[in-house]
Structure 1
Amino acid sequence: MLWEWLVMPQGLKNAPATFNRCVTHLLRSVRDFAPSYFDDVVIHSRAVDGKSEVEMHKEHLRKLLALMRKHKLYANLKK
């Protein structure tokens, strides 16, 4: 019987570091505007090339969510 974890198990010594390394690696292409820290991601945007801050923020949000979807990472809307 083959066992595969669907989530990061709690209590393992290196679980937090492994999880952080994995998320940082998967989200490296959006690191310029969406740095991650463990399970937190902050998107920061400013007006560029005639686009408003809101337009840039929406674009950054779409890129981040598409990347998360590609790697099967999920966001909790309640948080």
Structure 2
Amino acid sequence: MGIIWSLIVGAIIGVIAGALTGRGNSMGWIANIVAGLVGAAIGQALLGSWGPSLAGMALIPSIIGAVILVLVVSFVLSRSKS
């Protein structure tokens, strides 16, 4: 049950990051989960694990990390198309 809970929280973090960056429309649900989970790891590595926590992920650093991840991936993908 812990893995399912982590996937759900990761998806929510990914959706929030997509909404904050304005790039959530092009992301599917798998990309939201990946962005949330990887963003949580990045955010907690850079900012620590402060603030409210859910499923072992500190929410505020996780959302910030996911926003950074979405922006970097969007930038790299837009540069490769041109």
- TM-score, with length taken from structure 1: 0.31
Scaled by the length of structure 2, the TM-score of the pair is 0.31
Larger Rg: 1
Question: Structure 1 or 2: larger helix share?
Answer: 2
Which structure has more relative contact order (CA 8 Å, sep 6+)? It is 2
